[in-house]
Structure 1
Amino acid sequence: MASNRAVSTGDSTLDSLTYAPEGAILPQKRIFAYYGNPHSKKMGILGKYPKEEMLDRLDREIKNWEKADPATPIQPALHLVAISAQGAPGKDGGYRMRMSDKTIKKVLKWGNEHKAIVFLDIQRGHAPLGPEMEFLGKYLKLPFVHLGIDPEFSMVTGAKPGTKIGSYDAADVNQAVQFLSRMVKEYKLPPKVLVVHRFTQGMIKNYKNIKLDPNVQIVMDMDGWGPPVLKKDSYHDYIQKEPVQYTGFKLFYDNDFRKQGSRIMTPEEVLALTPKPMYIQYQ
């Protein structure tokens, strides 16, 4: 079955993936994503269960959110850690591992079959952001593929990933926006969504200098774990008080229970936040 896209990706397998949502997703729909990597049961729900069980859980969870906000349609999503920060430098000193073409295509096929958009997430370690985005470029030619960048693993100080929390400057976010905008224009794609994770003040520098672009929808995603009061405070302090465009909120099936007496927030509690998050992610 041939795709109706105007431009080929140059890869026959990718060209066979025909899911092609039209137009901008936000704010017409709320994105609901399962996060992780199929090679790791600990990295998130995406890899914790076999494909069919994971997708079944995704569908069941979406129904809870539809009940909580019947007026807003939900766009299912899979959020793949496509470039994973590492504790060892690797051959090029980048402290990151790029997933294989086979792994990325596997998740893209799941998304295509399930009519779920797919986010490819970058944990850059010490590697420059530009080449990592270029590595994902052929996949981003698909209209249902979007991008995530994680400041936690952007080790500008030279520290080893996982030993300290990293950061991005507005200039880095703008670089990602410009990259995606060029792709949208060149390949005649609907607007791309860029998810930027954040759970501390220092993870994003100079947020006021982030420049909006009509071809890219920026989501600042509060992705810290812990008890509800801490998550609400983080959302208020780092997302609401430093607005960019759209907002997101992350929930953890495991980590949100780690502290005694803690629990995972309900859809109703999350939707009571101001502004209402338009991107929801479960790990």
Structure 2
Amino acid sequence: MSAIAVLGMLAACSGQTAGGAYGGRPGGGGTSQASTAHPLPVALTRVTSATVSVQPDTGPVAVTTEFARKLYASAPIVVVASADGTKLPAAVREARAIHAPLLLAPAAAKASATSKATDTAEAQLTAGIQALHPVAVFSMGLSSTATAALAARLPGIRVVRRVADLPMTGDPASLRDVTVLIHASAKASRSVPVVAVTTTAKAAGATVIDMTGADPRADPTVIKALARLRPAAVVAVGAGFGTVTQLTARLAVAETGTQLPGGGQVMFPGRRLIALYGHPETPSLGVLGQQDLPGSIARAKQIAAEYRPLSTVPVVPAFEIIASVAEGSPGPDGSYSYETPVADLLPWVRSATKAGLYVVLDLQPGRASLLQQAKDYKSLLALPNVGLALDPEWKLLPGQRPLKQIGHVDISEVNSVIDWLATLTARDKLPQKLLVLHQFLLSMIAGEQDLDTSHDDLSILIHMDGQGTPGNKQATWNAVTATAPRRVFFGWKNFFVMDHPMLSPGETMTKTPAPVMISYQ
């Protein structure tokens, strides 16, 4: 079922008019007997507050009448066309020309129609027209019988079938602060209600933008338009726009104009990350630290370039930086985890950002709290192109030491980090953030099926970190992907030394499901 989501339409009425009076149609030359001495005003709704509502498509009549009432305080002329599409193109032209709302009459609105559904639709149309206080209704595509029946239900309002019988109207003050988003699927289907709603919007002077999906954050063109327009009201037409709360939050993010490397504000499936893993100061921890900063950026871009011919989505180079490093000594806090100072990581994050890279901060917590360590890097995680990775392998219980066992984390601790990161992202109106969970044994995440994937502000990915022969790694991949919770994405790691042999980009991309993050260590 499609829906029309309406933002910011609770408003006071305005009776402003402008020049451009005409008889019948603009530039029509001369006036008909039905013309009035002065053009009748078209009063549009003045937006005074931003509120969101989601209106289900309960039928073409209800949708078009309710939509028109939210844009027009009053309209001297209302155009009515049949919901079966008869004469719809002509109705669209006339409504646009005279700045009139376009409503749909039930397709079965004939003298012989007695069904309850038809009666209900006719009552909705009648009420919708009366609420607009028109002087005249322009019937287009309705039979003479249906037109007469409509006139009988509208005492005091002329129902006409000729342009020459329409009164003169003035041009309204356009609703330039209103933007209408049209879902691509709705537009492609040439839905009659969508055409009518779009016509009403354009007749009122609203801006109409076509979308490629239902999430405004996923479309770079929509993001740019919303950031430029900063509309006081947005009307989203089509299916899948989510709840009122969800749509409001998504629009707030889109209007910032901030986009992720590769475009858009939704992490996956709109891009593929190719990352160097390691620590800037320790070459033994991974390829990221085996050259200086400019060299690491160049190397990340070079490896990413090898994937572009293999990927149907943009390929984005990335850094996965080990922010907290598991170590053999307990350290001053007894955590067996060294937290790299933010000041030491900042040059890497800034340079990566400037070069168009995404950055993931990896936590090897030891005995420390994952949540507390994440909070320690809050200033970096508040940047739009910085995500977070949790490494359960290095999570220790009291009495345990690194490298003596494979660590594990309880899902409750993971979810606490997810809640905090989602709150930070939503508060700052940031693009979706990536949350990575490293895993090569099912036991590493206790209670994994309770992973919270409900946050619209996060994209959660399980990263398969197994090393060894291709056969062993494939078995690990199969186990990890088969038991993962729903609504997660998957990543793969290639080891230059520990894999025997390391897969080529082409071989890596044969995995099912195709990994959307591929890191190199």
TM-score (norm 2): 0.48
Alignment of 1:9-88 (within 5 A): 21=260, 22-69=264-311, 71-88=312-329
User: Residue by residue, what CA displacement relative to the aligned partner does 1:25-83 show, whole Å, maximum 9, x if unpaired?
Assistant: 211001111111111111011101122222222222112111222x2211221111001
Match of 1:174 in 2: 415
Measured in 2, the distance between the counterparts of 1:167 and 1:201 equals 9
Structure 1 counterpart of 2:515, which letter? P
1:160 aligns with 2:398: no
1:119 aligns with 2:367: no
1:210 aligns with 2:448: no
Match of 1:200 in 2: 441
Query: Contact (CA 8 Å) 1:62, 1:74: kept in 2 or not?
Result: yes
Match of 1:240 in 2: 482
Measured in 2, the distance between the counterparts of 1:210 and 1:241 equals 12
Q: Which residue of the other structure, out of 346, 351, 370, is the alignment partner of 1:129?
A: 370
Match of 1:281 in 2: 519
Match of 1:251 in 2: 494
Q: Which residue of the other structure, out of 227, 230, 235, is the alignment partner of 2:472?
A: 230
Query: Contact (CA 8 Å) 2:300, 2:319: kept in 1 or not?
Result: no
Q: What is the identity percentage for the equivalent residue pairs of Structure 1 and Structure 2?
A: 28
Measured in 2, the distance between the counterparts of 1:194 and 1:87 equals 27
SS at match of 1:254: coil
User: Residue by residue, what CA displacement relative to the aligned partner does 1:162-194 show, whole Å, maximum 9, x if unpaired?
Assistant: 211101122122112111110111111111100
Query: Contact (CA 8 Å) 1:250, 1:282: kept in 2 or not?
Result: yes
Measured in 1, the distance between the counterparts of 2:340 and 2:433 equals 21
1:90 aligns with 2:334: no
* Alignment length (residue pairs): 260
Match of 1:149 in 2: 390
User: Residue by residue, what CA displacement relative to the aligned partner does 1:217-275 show, whole Å, maximum 9, x if unpaired?
Assistant: 1110001211111111101012333244100000111221xxxxx21012222222111
Measured in 2, the distance between the counterparts of 1:227 and 1:81 equals 25
User: In structure 2, do the counterparts of structure 1 residues 53 and 29 end up closer, same or farther at CA, with 3 Å as the change threshold?
Assistant: same
Measured in 1, the distance between the counterparts of 2:357 and 2:440 equals 26
Measured in 2, the distance between the counterparts of 1:72 and 1:20 equals 16
Deviation at 1:119, TM superposition (A): 0.7
Q: Which residue of the other structure, out of 390, 415, 431, is the alignment partner of 1:190?
A: 431
TM-score (norm 1): 0.88
Q: Radius of gyration: which is bigger?
A: 2
Structure 1 counterpart of 2:478, which letter? H
1:219 aligns with 2:461: yes
Measured in 2, the distance between the counterparts of 1:52 and 1:104 equals 14
Unaligned runs of 5+ in 1: 5-18, 257-261
Measured in 1, the distance between the counterparts of 2:408 and 2:371 equals 16
Deviation at 1:157, TM superposition (A): 5.5
Measured in 2, the distance between the counterparts of 1:101 and 1:136 equals 7
Deviation at 1:122, TM superposition (A): 0.6
Q: Which residue of the other structure, out of 253, 264, 267, is the alignment partner of 2:502?
A: 264
